[in-house]
Amino acid sequence: MSSNTSRRDFLSTGLSAGLALPVLGAASVIDPQSAKAAVPAKLDYRILGRTGLKVTTVGMGCMITSDPSVITRAADMGINYFDTARGYSHGNNERMVAAALGARRKDVIISTKSHAPNKEELQQHLEISLRELNTDYIDIWFLHGKGSPDEIADDMIEVQQKAKKEGKVRFTGVSTHGGQQQLLPWMAQKGVFDVVLTGYNFTMGVDMDQSIATAAKAGLGVVAMKVMAGGLRRLKPDDPAYKKLTQQGGMLAALKWVIKKPNIATTIPSITDMDQLDENLKAMSNPLSAGEEKILSAHLDAIRPLYCRMCGQCDGACQKGLPVADVLRFLTYADGYGQFALGRERFLELSAEHKAVRCGDCAACTVKCPHGVQVARRCARAQELFA
């Protein structure tokens, strides 16, 4: 299809120079001024840790984008960070990103990831990604979806470092959906990674903030994903709370909330259409307002009975000695971050005495959460789920 070429030609001769649209042939009855052109947005930049890369605070997650023109337009509008992965749509996503960004390759930062389970496949994935992305180098190459240091073998790090030395990869990192409290400090201490891509959103507690701060302080560039979905995943589209949150601009507020955090360099919300793109761009020009904070607070109130903020005020409060915050955290791995296996693994690491506790056996719970978490009910769910 030649559309990409024609788009590029158009962009280089028309839009980017602020000129009128090309004159139409037989269809010249159409007013060329009326077609909606991209209007450059106000952009906000941060430095991505030790990489020194200057990234827009709103990037683009391309995983569920179907039409490459949305990616092209995002780049035209000034977004400069684009994320894909070897495994997305069996490689089709990398090809689409390449087609969409081809002419602008040098102006943008492309990150991709490999879920390879061993060094041989990791090496092969790198070569395939380079080919499919139609590029000589990958800006940031992540090991995909790691939940703990145990999942990151030394020989995989060696493959990353070798690729860096060869110039095939500029910077390396790890993406993670769970286990950040353990993984991020480990990455900070390890000193061989440049970037971490982590789930992060307004529903998460201070423990996550601390992990991210540790990573950022060590020079890791922090990229946030699941900036909206993490907070909304538990809600179905027909849920009144979902409708309320989306209709009131909650999605944009959620994005702004993450951008406001100084330790986050950029974000990669999924964008499927031009309307979403325009909406997300607003996050860079209008900071989080008091009204938007209220929207998020209201949503937090709705999920307060479910989510522990790890404030530690319940330490020692359980009459049976249960480490309540830990149990709630394990449950959040499963319920909040979609990491059932990790949650169960951590739960099974509890002492035999603690694993045997059944909250349903207590007549009354001695733990009173100051934030309103229904401790007995949530711990009972963890026991039902993991024990």
Partner 1 sequence: MKSAAVLLAVLLAAGMARAQVSLDCHFAPGWEASGPARQYTAENLYDYKDGAADGYLSYGFARMSTIDCKSGADMLTIDVSEMNDADAAYGLFTANRDPRLPIAPIGMGGQIQPQSALFAKGKYYVEIVENADNPNADHSAVMQAFAAGIEQRLQGRETAPEALQWFPKENLDSIRLIPESVLGLKLLKRGYVARYKQGQAFVVMETTPASAAEVFKKLREHFDGAAPAQVADEAFLAKAPYLDGICVFRKGRFLAGYANLPDATQAAALSANLAARIP
Q: Are 179 and 333 in contact (CB under 8 A)?
A: yes
For tokens 């307060």, name the residue: 304
Find residue 173's DSSP bridge partners.
Answer: 142, 195
- Name the residue nearer to partner 1 (CB basis): 22 or 191: 22
Neighbour tally for 122: CB within 10 Å? 24
Show the site string, 99-138: x = touches partner 1 by CB under 8 A, - = not.
Answer: -----------------xxx-xx--x--------------
Nearest to 225 by CA among 207, 212, 242, 244: 212
- Neighbouring residues of 139: CB distance < 8 A, sequence distance ≥ 6: 53, 109, 110, 111, 170, 171
> By CB under 8 A, is residue 33 in contact with partner 1?
yes
- Name the residue nearer to partner 1 (CB basis): 330 or 357: 330
Binder among 2, 154, 167, 364 for partner 1 (CB under 8 A)? 2
Written in H, E and C, the secondary structure of 296-312 is: HHHHHHHHCCCCCCCCC
- Name the residue nearer to partner 1 (CB basis): 2 or 247: 2
> By CB under 8 A, is residue 338 in contact with partner 1?
yes
> By CB under 8 A, is residue 226 in contact with partner 1?
yes
The DSSP element (H or E) to which 264 belongs, if any, is none
Q: Are 103 and 5 in contact (CB under 8 A)?
A: no
Binder among 51, 84, 270, 280 for partner 1 (CB under 8 A)? 270
> By CB under 8 A, is residue 30 in contact with partner 1?
yes
CA gap 91, 88 in Å, rounded:
6
Nearest approach, Cβ of 69 to partner 1 (angstroms)? 4
> By CB under 8 A, is residue 309 in contact with partner 1?
no
Binder among 44, 45, 89, 242 for partner 1 (CB under 8 A)? 89
Residue type, 335: D
Binding stretches for partner 1 (CB under 8 A): 1-3, 6-7, 10-11, 15, 21-22, 24-27, 29-38, 63-64, 66-67, 69-70, 72-73, 87-92, 116-118, 120-121, 124, 145, 177, 225-226, 229, 233, 270, 272-276, 334, 337-341
